Chains A and B, each alone.
Chain A
Amino acid sequence: DVKVTQSSRYLVKRTGEKVFLECVQDMDHENMFWYRQDPGLGLRLIYFSYDVKMKEKGDIPEGYSVSREKKERFSLILESASTNQTSMYLCASSPRDWGYEQYFGPGTRLTVT
């Protein structure tokens, strides 16, 4: 079974803090993704990576950065957390070939106060 794990299910941080969200997948997938999901807005792509040390901006990269030092791990970084970054964050992975579905982690519900 494909497994995508995220470091925390729930996280509470203060405005201005630096926040790290970790994602690990065990299926040797090339592609990894970070989304945020908000009511009424659906899933929005923040960043994705198609290889180690490679990253591409998604639709809403502002205020975020990512790191992919190893194939199995993709980290999302909030440089200075703000209240409008309170959201559900979902990590996903997929094989390189297009047309394959994405496998999601359980999500991290981040609250910034």
Chain B
Amino acid sequence: RKEVEQDPGPFNVPEGATVAFNCTYSNSASQSFFWYRQDCRKEPKLLMSVYSSGNEDGRFTAQLNRASQYISLLIRDSKLSDSATYLCVVNMGSGGGADGLTFGKGTHLIIQP
């Protein structure tokens, strides 16, 4: 069974702090990894792709650990506007992309003033 697991939270974090959360996936053959952000009552939107070498976009850093089958998201200098649900998404498809994406249930982050 395809599984993507996340801690649902909520993570309550003071503004300016650094926060990190992980996501584990079950299929060692997975090839593509993403973090999506979903605001309350809005659609999910791509935050960043996760590459084997890791990647950074401003205050956000994503890492992939294939050996332990998890990806992580680190947010530095957190802002009130970072409050959202963060969805871990993994492509577990065997080559055809249409059914390969598996979504985690999301981690709820609340940045407090």
Cα A66 to Cα B36 in complex, Å, equals: 26
Task: Please name all residues of chain A whose beta carbon is closer than 8 Å to the beta carbon of B100 when the two chains form the complex.
Answer: 98
B34 beta carbon closer than 8 Å to chain A: yes
- Would you give the 0/1 interface string for B77-113, flagging 1 where the beta carbon is closer than 8 Å to chain A? 0000000000101010101111111011110000000
Those of A79-113 within 8 Å (CB) of chain B: 90, 94-107, 109
A58 beta carbon closer than 8 Å to chain B: yes
Task: Please name all residues of chain B whose beta carbon is closer than 8 Å to the beta carbon of A102 when the two chains form the complex.
Answer: 101
Number of interface residues of A (CB under 8 A): 28
Number of interface residues of B (CB under 8 A): 27
The chain B residue sitting closest to A100, CB to CB, is: B97
A43 beta carbon closer than 8 Å to chain B: yes
Cα A96 to Cα B8 in complex, Å, equals: 31
**In the complex the two chains form, is B91's CB within 8 Å of A50's CB?**
no
By secondary structure, the B interface counts as loop
A48 beta carbon closer than 8 Å to chain B: yes
Q: A99-B31, A99-B91, A101-B49 are in contact. Are A94 and B99 (CB under 8 A)?
A: no
- Expressed in whole angstroms, the minimum distance between the Cβ of B90 and any Cβ of chain A is 11
**In the complex the two chains form, is B96's CB within 8 Å of A101's CB?**
no
Cα A101 to Cα B33 in complex, Å, equals: 9
Those of B27-48 within 8 Å (CB) of chain A: 31-32, 34, 36, 41-46
**In the complex the two chains form, is A99's CB within 8 Å of B45's CB?**
no
**In the complex the two chains form, is B95's CB within 8 Å of A42's CB?**
no
Q: A41-B105, A43-B103, A50-B98 are in contact. Are A98 and B91 (CB under 8 A)?
A: yes
**In the complex the two chains form, is B98's CB within 8 Å of A31's CB?**
yes
Those of B1-40 within 8 Å (CB) of chain A: 8, 31-32, 34, 36
Interface centre among B32, B91, B101 (most CB of A within 10 A): B101
Interface centre among B36, B41, B98 (most CB of A within 10 A): B98
Q: A99-B31, A101-B49 are in contact. Are A56 and B99 (CB under 8 A)?
A: yes
Cα A39 to Cα B32 in complex, Å, equals: 26
